[in-house]
């Protein structure tokens, strides 16, 4: 399943406010069906095994899914940062091009993971009852 690029937006299709970082494929909380869309988004971007047998409970408990998603996203981001730091060490036989290419890849992955982590946290906060209002 292709994964969309996460782009911050402020207003959903209905004109309801969503905070910067809200996932573009998830309607604002004021829209009927937003929670199911959030579950689908979390499953699409979460660990692939969550979509398989044995994980049905995650579909029935969106808050647990969002909480788990946030922990997983934070761990992935931490691993990416660790990999970035390790690239600071010289690599035998590398003329610098390999490290440069890997750093670019890690920069891209890091941006995506930061955006995904924020989006998951916003969904979790909303599921916990937090309301987002248009700033004045």
Q: How far apart are CA 101 and CA 58, in angstroms?
A: 37
What is the DSSP secondary-structure string of the chain? ---PPP---SB-TTS-B--TT--TTS--TTSTTHHHHHHHHHHHHS-GGGGSTT-HHHHH-HHHHHHHHHHHHHHHHHHHHHHHHHTTS--TT--SHHHHHHHHHHHHHHHHHHHHHHHHHHHHHHHTT-------
Give residue 15's pLDDT. 57
Reply yes or no on whether the pLDDT at 5 is more than 90. no
Give residue 90's pLDDT. 67
Q: What is the pTM of this model?
A: 0.80
Q: Torsion angle of alpha carbons 114, 117, 119, 125, nearest 10°?
A: -140
For 4, the 3-state DSSP assignment is coil
Give residue 85's pLDDT. 85
- 58-117 per-position pLDDT tens digit: 899 999 999 999 999 999 999 999 988 888 776 677 777 777 888 889 999 999 999 999
Give residue 12's pLDDT. 43
Reply yes or no on whether the pLDDT at 7 is more than 50. no
- 15-66 per-position pLDDT tens digit: 578 899 999 999 999 899 999 999 999 999 999 999 888 888 889 999 999 9
């Amino acid at each position: 399943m292709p994964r969309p690029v996460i782009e911050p937006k402020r207003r959903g299709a209905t004109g309801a406010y969503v905070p910067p970082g809200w996932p573009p494929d998830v309607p604002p909380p004021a829209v009927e069906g937003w929670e199911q869309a959030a579950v689908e988004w979390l499953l699409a971007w979460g660990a692939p095994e969550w979509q398989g047998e044995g994980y049905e409970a995650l579909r029935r408990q969106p808050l647990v899914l969002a909480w788990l998603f946030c922990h997983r996203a934070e761990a992935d981001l931490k691993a990416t940062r660790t990999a970035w730091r390790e690239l600071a060490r010289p690599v035998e036989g590398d003329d610098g091009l390999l490290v440069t290419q890997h750093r670019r890849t890690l920069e891209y992955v890091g941006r995506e993971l930061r955006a995904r982590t924020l989006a998951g946290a916003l969904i979790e906060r909303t599921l916990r009852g937090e309301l987002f209002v248009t700033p004045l």
